Amino acid sequence: MKKFYLMFALLISLAVLAACSSGDDEANGASGSEGSSGADSITAWAWDPAFNIAALEKAKEAYDGDVEVKIIENAQDDIIQKLNTGLSSGTTKGMPNIVLIEDYRAQSFLQAYPDAFYPLTDVINSDDFADYKIATTSFDGEQYGLPFDSGVAGLYVRTDYLEEAGYTPEDLTNITWDEYIEIGKAVKEATGKNMLTLDPNDLGQIRMMIQTNGSWYVDEDGSTPNLEGNESLAKAFETYKKMMDADIGKIVSDWSQFVGAFNSGDVASVPTGNWITPSIKQAEDQSGKWAVVPMPRLDMEGAVNASNLGGSSWYVLNVDGKEEAADFMLQTFGSNVDLYQTLVKDIGALGTYSAAAEGDAYAVEDEFFGGQQLLADLSTWTDEIPGVNYGLHTYAIEDILVTGMQDYLNGTELTKVLENVQAQAEAQLK
Amino acid sequence: MNQPSSEKSKLDLPVSLRYKETKREKTGVFFKKKVGWLFVIVSVIAITIFNFYPMVQAFLLSFQSGMGGNLEYTGLDNWQRLFSDPTFIAALTNTSIYLLIQVPLMIVLALIFSVLLNDPKLKFRGFFRIAIFLPCVTSLVAYSVIFKYLFGVDGIINQFLLNFGFISETINFLADPFWAKVVIILAITWRWTGYNMIFYLAALQNVDKSIYEAAKIDGANAFQQFFQITIPMLKPIILFTSITSTIGTLQIFDEIVNITNGGPGNSTISISQYIYNLSFEYTPDFGYASTVSYVIVILVVILSILQFRVAGEKK
Shared domain for B93 and B235, answered yes or no, is yes
B47 touches chain A (CB under 8 A): no
User: B172: nearest CA in chain A?
Assistant: A251
pLDDT tens-digit series, residues B247-273: 899 989 999 999 988 878 788 999 999
On chain A, the residues whose CB falls within 8 A of the CB of B174 are 253
On chain B, the residues whose CB falls within 8 A of the CB of A108 are 67-68, 282-284
pLDDT tens-digit series, residues A31-85: 333 444 445 889 999 988 888 898 899 999 888 888 889 999 998 889 998 888 8
Quick one: pLDDT at residue B4? 45
Whether residue A13 is predicted with pLDDT greater than 70 in this model: the reply is no
Quick one: pLDDT at residue B6? 45
CA–CA gap between residue A212 and residue A306 (Å, rounded) = 6
Nearest to A253 among B31, B68, B174 (CB): B174
DSSP code for B264: S
User: A200: nearest CA in chain B?
Assistant: B264
How far B225 CA lies from chain A's nearest CA (Å)? 48
DSSP code for A348: -
Quick one: pLDDT at residue A251? 86
**Secondary structure of B127-166 in the HEC alphabet?**
HHHHHHHHHHHCCHHHHHHHHHHHCCCCCHHHHHHHHCCC
Interface touch B282/A393, C-beta < 8 Å: yes
pLDDT tens-digit series, residues B288-303: 999 999 999 999 899 8
CATH code assigned at A404: 3.40.190.10
On chain A, the residues whose CB falls within 8 A of the CB of B152 are 253, 257
The domain boundary, picked from A320, A342, A358, lies at A358
Shared domain for B21 and B146, answered yes or no, is no
CA–CA gap between residue A235 and residue A298 (Å, rounded) = 7
Domain that holds residue A181: 153-307+386-428
| Residue A261 included in any domain | yes
The domain boundary, picked from A319, A340, A358, lies at A358
A to B CB pairs, distance under 8 Å:
104
Shared domain for A237 and A291, answered yes or no, is yes
Interface touch A200/B263, C-beta < 8 Å: yes
pLDDT tens-digit series, residues A334-360: 888 888 888 888 887 888 888 887 778
Shared domain for B29 and B99, answered yes or no, is no
- Lowest-pLDDT choice from A312-326, A406-420, B65-79: B65-79
Quick one: pLDDT at residue B121? 84
A306, HSE (Cβ side, Cα atoms, 13 Å): 16
pLDDT tens-digit series, residues A124-183: 888 888 888 888 888 888 899 999 988 899 999 999 999 999 999 999 999 999 999 999
Shared domain for A196 and A283, answered yes or no, is yes
Counted domains in chain A = 2
Share of chain A above pLDDT 90, in %: 40
Interface touch B283/A201, C-beta < 8 Å: no
| Residue B174 included in any domain | yes
Nearest to A9 among B35, B69, B279 (CB): B35
Could you tell me how many residues make up chain B? 315
Of the residues B77, B87, B179, B283, the best mutation for testing chain A's interface (the one with the most A CB atoms within 10 Å of its CB) is B283
How far B143 CA lies from chain A's nearest CA (Å)? 17
Quick one: pLDDT at residue B26? 56
Shared domain for A161 and A265, answered yes or no, is yes
Shared domain for A224 and A350, answered yes or no, is no
On chain B, the residues whose CB falls within 8 A of the CB of A198 are none
CA end-to-end span of chain A, whole Å? 66
Q: Are A361 and A345 in contact (CB under 8 A)?
A: yes
User: B277: nearest CA in chain A?
Assistant: A396
| Residue A34 included in any domain | no
- pTM of the full structure: 0.77
| Residue B73 included in any domain | no
Q: Using pLDDT thresholds of 50, 70 and 90, give the confidence band for residue B181.
A: very high
How far A186 CA lies from chain B's nearest CA (Å)? 24
Quick one: pLDDT at residue A36? 41
Shared domain for A212 and A233, answered yes or no, is yes
Share of chain A above pLDDT 70, in %: 91
Q: What is the ipTM of this complex?
A: 0.73
Shared domain for B10 and B127, answered yes or no, is no
Counted domains in chain B = 2
pLDDT tens-digit series, residues B182-227: 999 999 999 999 999 999 999 998 888 888 889 889 988 888 888 8
Of the residues A399, A409, A421, A424, the best mutation for testing chain B's interface (the one with the most B CB atoms within 10 Å of its CB) is A399
On chain A, the residues whose CB falls within 8 A of the CB of B264 are 200-201, 402, 406
Quick one: pLDDT at residue A278? 83
Shared domain for B56 and B118, answered yes or no, is no
| Residue B68 included in any domain | no
On chain B, the residues whose CB falls within 8 A of the CB of A393 are 282-283
Shared domain for B112 and B202, answered yes or no, is yes
Using alpha carbons, select from B310, B108, B303 the residue that is nearest to residue B200: B108
Shared domain for B128 and B26, answered yes or no, is no
On chain B, the residues whose CB falls within 8 A of the CB of A428 are 85-87
Collect all residues from A whose CB is shorter than 8 A from any CB in B. 2, 5-6, 9-10, 13, 16-17, 77, 80-81, 84, 87-88, 90, 108-109, 111-114, 116, 200-201, 251, 253-254, 257, 392-393, 395-396, 399-400, 402-403, 405-406, 424, 427-428, 430
Shared domain for A302 and A315, answered yes or no, is no
Q: Please state, in angstroms and as integers, the Cα–Cα distance from residue B174 to each residue in A266, A321, B114, B312, following that order.
A: 20, 48, 32, 39
Identify the residue with better confidence: B103 or B36.
Answer: B103
Q: Using pLDDT thresholds of 50, 70 and 90, give the confidence band for residue B172.
A: confident
Shared domain for A91 and A201, answered yes or no, is no
Q: Using pLDDT thresholds of 50, 70 and 90, give the confidence band for residue B19.
A: low
pLDDT tens-digit series, residues A228-274: 989 999 999 999 999 999 999 998 877 888 999 999 999 999 999 98
Shared domain for A316 and A391, answered yes or no, is no
Q: Using pLDDT thresholds of 50, 70 and 90, give the confidence band for residue B81.
A: confident
CATH code assigned at B175: 1.10.3720.10
The contacts of residue A397 (CB under 8 Å, 6+ apart) are A217, A218, A225, A227, A421, A425, A429
Using alpha carbons, select from A179, A213, A375, A168 the residue that is nearest to residue A306: A213
**Secondary structure of B44-108 in the HEC alphabet?**
HHHHHHHHHHHHHHHHHHCCEECCCCCCEECCCHHHHHHHCCHHHHHHHHHHHHHHHHHHHHHHH
Shared domain for A293 and A404, answered yes or no, is yes
Whether residue A384 is predicted with pLDDT greater than 60 in this model: the reply is yes
B148 touches chain A (CB under 8 A): yes
pLDDT tens-digit series, residues A108-124: 889 888 888 999 998 88
Shared domain for A259 and A331, answered yes or no, is no
CA–CA gap between residue B154 and residue B256 (Å, rounded) = 20
| Residue A67 included in any domain | yes
Identify the residue with better confidence: A199 or A28.
Answer: A199
Quick one: pLDDT at residue B292? 93
Shared domain for A278 and A421, answered yes or no, is yes
CA–CA gap between residue A378 and residue A277 (Å, rounded) = 11
Interface touch B262/A399, C-beta < 8 Å: yes
How far B162 CA lies from chain A's nearest CA (Å)? 18
Nearest to B31 among A2, A16, A399 (CB): A2
On chain A, the residues whose CB falls within 8 A of the CB of B144 are none
Q: Please state, in angstroms and as integers, the Cα–Cα distance from residue B157 to each residue in B62, B139, B152, B258, B264, following that order.
A: 43, 22, 8, 18, 19
Q: Using pLDDT thresholds of 50, 70 and 90, give the confidence band for residue A4.
A: low
How far A430 CA lies from chain B's nearest CA (Å)? 9
Of the residues A253, A402, A417, the best mutation for testing chain B's interface (the one with the most B CB atoms within 10 Å of its CB) is A253
In one letter, which amino acid is B13? Answer: L
Nearest to A13 among B42, B172, B177 (CB): B42
What value does the mean pLDDT take over residues B76-87?
86
Shared domain for A170 and A132, answered yes or no, is no
Domain that holds residue B133: 80-311
| Residue A11 included in any domain | no
| Residue B72 included in any domain | no
Of the residues B67, B146, B254, B269, the best mutation for testing chain A's interface (the one with the most A CB atoms within 10 Å of its CB) is B67
On chain A, the residues whose CB falls within 8 A of the CB of B87 are 399-400, 424, 428
Using alpha carbons, select from A100, A125, A52, A131 the residue that is nearest to residue A381: A131
A276, HSE (Cβ side, Cα atoms, 13 Å): 26
Shared domain for B159 and B240, answered yes or no, is yes
